[in-house]
């Protein structure tokens, strides 16, 4: 894409009111625009990142047998009364339809929709197990939506729900989902800073598991056991935290953000909706459920929190909006290379704007694409290439660049 054709531009400065690094960099570099607290537009560059993250998450969910659907954001009050959560969920957006006078919910999660939905199709043990997911916008009336993409009042979440005939099968699938999450975080480049964290299991299980990433912007505190490479959330650790796996007490306390959460719901939602199945012996039993959430906006915000420097974002190759940032220092001198690269399938942002070299360099660092290529009168038939992660550039020929992308 030609940078001159982007309708958005980088900003001279980060928006003053934004405190979180992810919000400052993503807004300044032109990935997102804030409409109001906790509500953002994704601009062309930002949407490409969102689609990349979505692709990774979708691939891994499909890999563990997930079937994709799309459930509604508008939900009836009755479903939330069935589970008792109409009264208890404090961040639920509720409102009344003008014409029908019915009370509605703007969905912040979808157990209240998926359980009665699956009930319509699930009859016997032969229909189990099942895993169903969606990637969809959630609404939550957050008290403090102040950390950019980390905490929105409107945000994209992947939520998967699994359905099982017994606990052994739920446990087996839960472990599989855990591994899929770890794979997502490896692919998104945050695995090194992300810890499987033991958290509250609610009324039904001893633990649930969160995936917590170390960042000063995080609102959670976890205690990490370096031996087991797991952590325990402060919320359940009490005054004398110990590793939930090995019992060790020398733990490292860190500020973190929860990027994902997996939870054994068991019969919490099947019971109120009467989601039952017939066993091989003809007996009726409650279906057991698991739920697996992952915030896409939050994942993007987390990537920026862990991968940036004082000049801008450093995108991992897997989610970068483009692989190459081609800068030309004389009008039109990069055109032939741009055509050659794009026709060979490489993704390129071509800075063909009539602005100074200094401005192009600064924008390239701010936007943070993995490879910067410079062509000028000085580089001749060669090009200067530099990884966003390193300080050194090198003069190379076309073949070298082709191999990068
Ligand atoms: P938190 O404790 O941070 O509020 P939560 O426990 O409410 O999170 P879940 O209900 O488990 O979160 O939601 C699943 C996932 O959705 C989270 O792991 C997180 O990645 C994401 N998420 C939750 N709330 C938000 C939000 N306000 N903005 C962006 N992502 C969110
Ligand atoms: Mg919450």
> What's 327-361 look like in SS3?
EECCCCCCHHHHHHHHHCCCCEEEECCCCCHHHHH
Q: Which ligand is nearest to the CA of 157?
A: 1
DSSP string, 293-336: EEEHHHHHHHHHHHSEETTEE---TTT-S-SEEEEESSTTTTHH
What gap in Å lies between CA 31 and CA 312, rounded to an integer?
12
> What tokens were used for 86?
């109409």
**327 CA from centroid of ligand 2 (Å):** 42
Helix (H/G/I), strand (E/B), else coil: 61: helix
- pLDDT of 68 reads 98
**3-class DSSP assignment, residue 393:** strand
Q: Are 34 and 46 in contact (CB under 8 A)?
A: no
Mean pLDDT for all residues in the chain: 97
pTM for this one?
0.97
Which residue, 374, 331, 312, 338, is CA-closest to 1? 338
Q: Can you give the pLDDT at residue 203? A: 72
Q: Is 22 in the pocket of ligand 1 (CB under 6 A)?
A: no
State which ligand 1 atom lies nearest to the alpha carbon of 301: 29
**Mean pLDDT value across residues 293-316:** 98
- Closest atom of ligand 1 to 260 CA is 18
Identify the pLDDT of residue 202.
79
| DSSP H or E run through 125 | none
% pLDDT > 70, the chain: 100
* Secondary structure letter of residue 2 according to DSSP: B
For 44-85, what is each residue's pLDDT tens digit? 999 999 999 999 999 999 999 999 999 999 999 999 999 999
pLDDT at 376 over 90: yes
Q: Which residues make beta-bridge pairs with 2?
A: 350
Structure tokens at 53: 């993250």
Mean pLDDT of 217-225: 96
pLDDT at residue number 142: 97
pLDDT value of position 205: 79
314 CB under 6 A from ligand 1? no
- Name the packing angle between helices 296-306 and 21-28 (round to 10°): 90
């Amino acid at each position: 894409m030609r940078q001159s054709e982007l309708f958005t531009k980088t900003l001279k400065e980060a928006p003053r009111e934004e405190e979180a690094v992810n919000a400052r960099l993503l807004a300044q570099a032109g990935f997102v625009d804030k409409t109001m607290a906790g509500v953002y537009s994704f601009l062309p560059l930002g949407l490409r990142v969102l689609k990349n993250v979505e692709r990774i998450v979708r691939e891994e969910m499909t890999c563990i047998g997930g079937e994709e659907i799309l459930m509604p954001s508008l939900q009836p009050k009755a479903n939330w009364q069935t589970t008792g959560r109409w009264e208890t969920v404090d961040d639920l957006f509720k409102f009344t339809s003008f014409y029908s006078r019915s009370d509605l919910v703007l969905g912040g999660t979808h157990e209240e929709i998926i359980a009665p939905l699956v009930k319509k199709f699930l009859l016997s043990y032969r229909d189990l197990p099942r895993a169903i997911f969606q990637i969809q916008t959630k609404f939550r009336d957050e008290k403090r939506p102040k950390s950019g993409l980390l905490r929105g009042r409107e945000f994209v979440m992947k939520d998967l729900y699994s359905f099982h005939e017994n606990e052994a099968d739920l446990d087996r699938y839960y472990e599989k989902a855990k591994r899929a999450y770890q794979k997502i975080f490896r692919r998104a480049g945050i695995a090194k800073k992300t810890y499987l964290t033991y958290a509250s299991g609610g009324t039904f299980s001893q633990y649930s598991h969160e995936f917590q990433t170390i960042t000063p912007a995080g609102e959670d505190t976890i205690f990490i056991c370096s031996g087991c490479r797991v952590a325990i959330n402060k919320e359940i650790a009490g005054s004398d935290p110990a590793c939930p796996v090995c019992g060790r007490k020398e733990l490292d306390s860190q500020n973190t953000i929860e990027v994902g959460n997996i939870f054994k719901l068991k019969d919490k939602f099947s019971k109120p909706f009467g989601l039952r199945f017939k066993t091989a012996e003809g007996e009726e039993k409650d279906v057991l459920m698991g739920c697996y959430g992952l915030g896409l906006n939050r994942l993007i915000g987390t990537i920026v929190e862990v991968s940036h420097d004082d000049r801008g974002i450093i995108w991992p190759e897997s989610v970068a909006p483009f692989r190459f940032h081609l800068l030309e220092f004389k009008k039109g001198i990069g055109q032939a290379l741009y055509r050659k690269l794009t026709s060979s399938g490489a993704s390129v942002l071509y800075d063909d704007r009539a602005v100074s070299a200094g401005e192009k360099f600064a924008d390239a660092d701010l936007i943070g694409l993995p490879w910067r290529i410079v062509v000028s009168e000085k580089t001749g038939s060669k090009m200067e290439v530099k990884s966003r992660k390193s300080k050194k550039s090198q003069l190379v020929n076309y073949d070298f660049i082709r191999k990068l992308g």
